[in-house]
Amino acid sequence: MTAAPHTVAPANTVGRVMRQVLYALLPAICLHIIFFGPGLVIQILLGVTAAVAAESLALRLRGQPVQKFLMDGSAAITAVLIALCLPPLAPWWLIVSGTAFAILVAKHLYGGLGSNPFNPAMVGYAVLLVSFPAQLTRWLPPDISGLQTVAFSLPETLHTIFTGSLPTSLQWDAVTSPTPLNALRTGVAMGQTLQEATAQPIFGMLGGRGWDWINVALLAGGVWLLSQRLIRWHTPVAMLAGLTIPAAIMSAVDPGSYPGPMFHLTAGASMLGAFFIATDPVTSATSDRGKLIYGAGIGVITYVIRSWGGYPDGIAFAVLLMNLSAPLIDRFTVPRIYGHSR
Amino acid sequence: MFAAFALTFALVSLLAVALLWPRESPASNESRLIDRINDLLPQTQCRRCTFEGCKPYATAIARGEAGINQCPPGGERTMIELAELLKREAIAVDPKFGVMPAQPAVAWIDEAVCIGCTKCIQACPVDAIIGGSKFMHTVITDDCTGCELCIPPCPVDCIEMRPKAAMTGAVT
Amino acid sequence: MIRAMTGGGLRLETNKERSTAAPLRAASVPAEVILPLDQHAGTAARPLVKVGDAVLLGQPIAEPTSDISAWVHSPVSGSVIAVEPRPVAYHAASSPCIVIRNDFADRRDNANTAVDYASMSPAQLSDHIARGGIVGLGGATFPTASKLSQAVAQPDLHLLLNGAECEPWISCDDMLMRERAADIVFGAHVLMHALGTVSCTIAVEDDVPQAIASLRAAAAQVQPHIRIATLPDVYPAGGERQLILAVTDREVPAGRLPSDIGILCQNVGTAAAVARWIRDGEPLITRIVTITGSGVREPANLETRLGTPIASLIADCGGYTTDDRRLIMGGSMMGLAFSDDRLPIVKGSNCVIVPSPSDLHPRSAEMPCIRCGNCSEVCPAWLLPQQLHWQAQAHDVAALESFGLMDCIECGCCDYVCPSQIPLTQRFREAKVPVQAELLARSEAHLSRQRYEARGERLVRIENEQRARLEQKRREITGRKSPP
């Protein structure tokens, strides 16, 4: 006979948790496709295939039940998160190697689901970022009136991804456009004021055009996850606060060089990081207080890297650095037990 | 640039302070160290370590006059705990200080043979034997630590060690 | 469905309405009753009868053997046919039992009479309550008189009656409060007298409006005043420590008793049993049992003679609807599973669930912990079950203890919300064994040390006294030898 409790919450499994996270990403994925073309779909398909292959290989090598763990969906999430971080026209081997590295090294070498100290998606992305910086800057401008010089339909996208070169006689320089974070950083580095740098057409009211809507969609997805009680509010709120408070202070001190909080919130991977990456339970702090510290750390480090570091966005490194600190944070934020004074 | 430095520095120093924050204050003086060592000892007061009891042994360890491998009742676990506390190398418990029975044992007096000499009562370090002069003596099983100190003084050899489980199990 | 509160806990599907539709009624009396001698917390009772003895209804048949033990009375008149070990539903082993064949005459033991409790001293009253065989009917079966005597030295005691029947499926207290509120209030006054206090609260979950109304009506008619407090229906609101925090906003310190902070907690059913014993002279020989689940035709609450085989109650409820003989004694969160329906109802049997597969959501395949933290969110003891789970796997006794394993109340909330389907509560039950042994060894070492130190002090004192006496004598002798 079984031991108590004899009943558990219905349909509450790791697989369901992971599926809900994927659903929450859907609006952002759709907007991404509208703004940047069908590249993301191919990237996701490539990534998920690589993730499933790497996961089955690792499980088989480790003598674990392949079927049971493959169905949990965590590998797919890793692949989708990496795909969302890569330029949609990036060559196929980029997403494949990044995802394979994430699954094989960052996840399974550390013991698989639940045992990895670092967020696999961010490890995969960081490895690609330091290894292939040129390919990772080849973003298209969003498909908003007057921004895109060349439109990429499906056949052209496929051609670019699988051959690594642009169709016909196009040159990369003519097609790509810096991301808002990158444009801003280059502009300011060249001595422009913030106002001059953001005068380019890729900037809109809040921040980068296209990116602002994607971030809003991610925020909506995150709020839905909160309402489904799949994530707790502590990490995202603390991370966004850790990002906006320094941004508010610096833009107040020197409005000519530092963009305000709104720009940071809607630029780059802010919302993706806050609601989908920093909230990875496996690699984050445990207690509510711990999550606040952990999230705030990610926000502050992201701001520091964006403003003064060597990379336009800093979410990946910020998350990895705070992953490293999570056990320490846990040690110092053990909650009080009922009936104990401390 | 300065702001970057200040922010990262603040963050790093915060974490460093958290990491280095003393969880327990170190034993600053000898008597506190003795107490902490004594807390780890099993309190059988059996003198197998060659000292007069657990506290004297703890004192000797604290003063560096005794090794951490002299307590058979504590066994390997106590030795490891002592090594961790004192930051010393772990070292196997020396069998020359005695070997413990596989089952925890307590003393038992054959009351038919006992002549009531009170020698064992005087030997017991934890007052676990009761009885008066010329009257039969009895071991309080619950209080006996199994130190065996009562066995040598007995003039009629009426004390023996018995498994504790058997002795207490009989009551319930 | 899952809705956690700041203090932990869960809102669960209660399924109580299934067994509250039918009114409370008496169960049929069986031809044979089986009365385990260890059906209460503490030491087993000692039989006062032997095979062949004739017994009367309400006659004491076993006596307590320690301060924490209880009287057992015969719930029928008839003859003792066996005193032997029989299987029981509350633990895996057999228990010593007295088996009585019912003569269906219900000849009462006239030694049991009503008493005027107001004229008794608290100590006398407590002794008398013990003679009624009364134990906590919430499930813990701690002897009521023992609890009273532990608390009675405390000044300003507050009596807290637990009517928060938080576990799913169970409705015996709900029915009792609806239909016998006057008994509960009378029992409350007896207990207040035994404790020398005039302050009492009855705590009830807010999903039992009929029970609240009848308690209010019953309490309004008598003095001293009894407060009726309602709580949100969050599981496990009826856990003693959780209830005390919810009602009084105070925590019971770890390792201490509620009476240490001036609170004595009793189940409402216990209060009603006290009333029956004091007012009517009827010892604890019946209790209300919920028979529920889709596996039984007509779920109901039955007032049952102790020792009645469960099969007889199932028959009273129209019998099984399935061939599946899976039974749960207690609620679905903390109850014990068993399959033999010949086992007897005892003082602690509040509910028998006969579940059909659709009633319960069994666990699916276990996955590794993803540290989602759902468990710590719902833990009513504010523990970190995911950390305890790692430590239990590593057999790290010291860490388990410092992370509060012994404060785990085994409520099952963490299991319920775990997406990885880990049987956490069972792991914790197992992990408690070595931690308990460690704590015991440490307390024994502490006692040995105290005895050793006391002996050392005594030896020094005796030596000093001897030396002082010698000195005195020497001075006397030298004083005599050399006159001034």
As a whole number of angstroms, the distance between CA C314 and CA C296 comes to 7
CATH number at residue B140: 3.30.70.20
- pLDDT of C287: 94
- pLDDT of B170: 42
Integer CA distances (angstroms), C291 to A8, C294, C313, C391, in order: 21, 10, 7, 39
Ranges of chain A whose pLDDT falls below 50:
1
What is the number of CB-based contacts under 8 A between chain A and chain C?
148
- The dihedral built from the CA positions of residue B55, B56, B57 and B63, taken in this order, carries a sign that is positive
Domain boundary pick from B67, B97, B127? B97
- pLDDT of B172: 33
Contacts of B41 in chain C (CB under 8 A): 445
C351 is in an annotated binding site: no
**Domains of chain B: total:** 2
B158 is in an annotated binding site: no
- pLDDT of B28: 58
Judge if B76 and B139 occupy the same domain: no
Do the strands C32-36 and C94-102 form a parallel or antiparallel pair, or are they unpaired? Answer: antiparallel
Contact assessment for residue C236 and residue C411, using Cβ atoms and an 8 Å cutoff: yes
As a whole number of angstroms, the distance between CA B145 and CA C28 comes to 55
- pLDDT of B19: 61
Contacts of B143 in chain C (CB under 8 A): 447-448, 451
Integer CA distances (angstroms), A9 to A3, C2, C13, C380, C409, in order: 16, 8, 10, 17, 19
- pLDDT of A147: 64
| Amino acid letter for position A138 | R
Ranges of chain B whose pLDDT falls below 70:
1-5, 16, 18-28, 168-172
As a whole number of angstroms, the distance between CA A226 and CA A236 comes to 10
Judge if B30 and B93 occupy the same domain: yes
Residue B49 lies in a domain: yes
Range of the domain at B131: 105-169
Residue B2 lies in a domain: no
- The dihedral built from the CA positions of residue A158, A163, A167 and A170, taken in this order, carries a sign that is positive
Q: Is B136 near chain C, with CB under 8 Å?
A: no
Average pLDDT of the residues of chain C: 89
Q: What percent of chain C has pLDDT over 70?
A: 98
Please, which pLDDT band fits residue C3 given cuts at 50, 70 and 90? Answer: very low
Burial classification of residue B40, based on how many CB atoms lie within 10 Å of its CB (0-12 exposed, 13-18 middle, 19 or more buried): buried
To which H or E segment does residue C36 belong? Answer: strand C32-36
Query: B126 vs C451: CB contact, 8 Å cut-off?
Result: yes
Domain boundary pick from B75, B97, B119? B97
- pLDDT of A287: 87
Query: A113 vs C370: CB contact, 8 Å cut-off?
Result: yes
To which H or E segment does residue C445 belong? Answer: helix C424-481
Please, which pLDDT band fits residue C298 given cuts at 50, 70 and 90? Answer: very high
C375 is in an annotated binding site: yes
- pLDDT of A120: 94
Which residue of chain A comes nearest to B16, CA vs CA?
A328
Query: C452 vs B42: CB contact, 8 Å cut-off?
Result: no
Judge if B119 and B160 occupy the same domain: yes
Contacts of B24 in chain A (CB under 8 A): none
- Asked if omega into C224 is within 30° of 0 (cis), the reply is yes
Residue B6 lies in a domain: no
Inter-residue long-range contacts of A50-55, CB under 8 Å, 24+ positions, other chains counted: A50/A79, A50/A95, A50/A96, A50/A99, A50/A100, A50/A103, A51/A75, A51/A76, A51/A78, A51/A79, A51/A99, A51/A100, A51/A102, A51/A103, A52/A76, A53/A100, A54/A99, A54/A100, A54/A103, A54/A104, A55/A103, A55/A108
Which of C169, C366, C370, C383 has the most A C-beta neighbours within 10 Å, making it the best mutation to test the interface with A? C370
As a whole number of angstroms, the distance between CA B159 and CA C89 comes to 44
Judge if B93 and B31 occupy the same domain: yes
Which residue of chain B comes nearest to C441, CA vs CA?
B42
Contacts of B19 in chain A (CB under 8 A): 328
Distance from CA of C127 to the nearest CA of A (A): 32
Across the interface, of A5, A114, A341, the residue whose CB is closest to C415 is A5
Residue B17 lies in a domain: no
Which of C38, C95, C448, C459 has the most B C-beta neighbours within 10 Å, making it the best mutation to test the interface with B? C448
Q: Mind listing the pLDDT tens digit for each residue in C127-175? A: 999 999 999 998 889 999 998 888 877 778 899 999 999 899 999 999 9
Q: Is B24 near chain C, with CB under 8 Å?
A: no
Q: Is C91 near chain B, with CB under 8 Å?
A: no
As a whole number of angstroms, the distance between CA A204 and CA A210 comes to 9
Q: Considering only CA atoms, which of B60, C424, C162, C371 is closest in space to residue A116?
A: C371
As a whole number of angstroms, the distance between CA C329 and CA C331 comes to 7
Locus of tokens 């339909």: A153
Helices (H), A190-334: 194-197, 211-227, 234-253, 261-266, 270-272, 288-308, 315-332
Query: B43 vs C454: CB contact, 8 Å cut-off?
Result: no
Query: C449 vs B42: CB contact, 8 Å cut-off?
Result: no
- pLDDT of C1: 29
As a whole number of angstroms, the distance between CA C278 and CA C283 comes to 9
Domain boundary pick from B97, B123, B147? B97
Inter-residue long-range contacts of C220-225, CB under 8 Å, 24+ positions, other chains counted: C222/C185, C222/C189, C224/C189, C224/C192, C224/C198, C224/C199, C224/C200
Q: Is B20 near chain A, with CB under 8 Å?
A: no
Which residue of chain C comes nearest to B144, CA vs CA?
C448
Across the interface, of A9, A282, A336, the residue whose CB is closest to C1 is A9
Q: Is A109 near chain B, with CB under 8 Å?
A: no
Which chains have 3+ CB pairs within 8 A of B?
A, C
> Over the range A298-333, which residues count as b (16 or more CB within 10 Å of their CB) and which as e?
bbbbbbbbbbbbebbbbbbbbbbbbbebbeebbebb
Judge if B115 and B142 occupy the same domain: yes
Locus of tokens 């959501």: C361
φ/ψ of residue C42, rounded to 5: 100, -155
Judge if B80 and B132 occupy the same domain: no
| Amino acid letter for position C345 | I
Residue B158 lies in a domain: yes
Q: Mind listing the pLDDT tens digit for each residue in C70-127? A: 999 999 999 999 999 999 988 878 899 999 999 999 999 888 888 898 899 888 999 9
CATH number at residue B76: 1.10.15.40
Judge if B81 and B30 occupy the same domain: yes
Residue B4 lies in a domain: no
Judge if B111 and B79 occupy the same domain: no
Residue B52 lies in a domain: yes
As a whole number of angstroms, the distance between CA C85 and CA C47 comes to 13
- pLDDT of B23: 56
Contacts of C451 in chain B (CB under 8 A): 126-128, 143
Distance from CA of A34 to the nearest CA of B (A): 37
Query: B15 vs A303: CB contact, 8 Å cut-off?
Result: no
- pLDDT of C2: 32
- pLDDT of A340: 87
Which chains have 3+ CB pairs within 8 A of C?
A, B
Query: C448 vs B127: CB contact, 8 Å cut-off?
Result: no
To which H or E segment does residue A174 belong? Answer: helix A172-175
Contacts of A338 in chain C (CB under 8 A): 241, 245, 251, 254, 380-382, 407
Contact assessment for residue C163 and residue C173, using Cβ atoms and an 8 Å cutoff: yes
- pLDDT of A228: 87
As a whole number of angstroms, the distance between CA A275 and CA A226 comes to 9
Distance from CA of A331 to the nearest CA of C (A): 11
Between positions 245 and 284 of A, the ones with CB within 8 A of B are: 246, 250
Q: Considering only CA atoms, which of C385, C131, C162 is closest in space to residue C277?
A: C131
C408 is in an annotated binding site: yes
To the nearest 10°, report the CA torsion of C463, C464, C467, C469: -110
Which of A289, A329, A332 has the most B C-beta neighbours within 10 Å, making it the best mutation to test the interface with B? A332
Please, which pLDDT band fits residue C56 given cuts at 50, 70 and 90? Answer: very high
Q: Considering only CA atoms, which of C273, C277, C278, C347 is closest in space to residue C307?
A: C347
Query: A328 vs B19: CB contact, 8 Å cut-off?
Result: yes
Burial classification of residue B157, based on how many CB atoms lie within 10 Å of its CB (0-12 exposed, 13-18 middle, 19 or more buried): exposed
Residue B60 lies in a domain: yes
- Asked if omega into A88 is within 30° of 0 (cis), the reply is no
Judge if B55 and B117 occupy the same domain: no
> Over the range B97-121, which residues count as b (16 or more CB within 10 Å of their CB) and which as e?
bbebeeebbbbbbeeeebeebbebb
Distance from CA of B120 to the nearest CA of C (A): 14
3 state DSSP class of C309: strand
Q: Considering only CA atoms, which of B150, B92, B159 is closest in space to residue B121?
A: B150
As a whole number of angstroms, the distance between CA C419 and CA A231 comes to 13
Token pair, residue A103, equals 């699954």
Locus of tokens 């992971």: A18
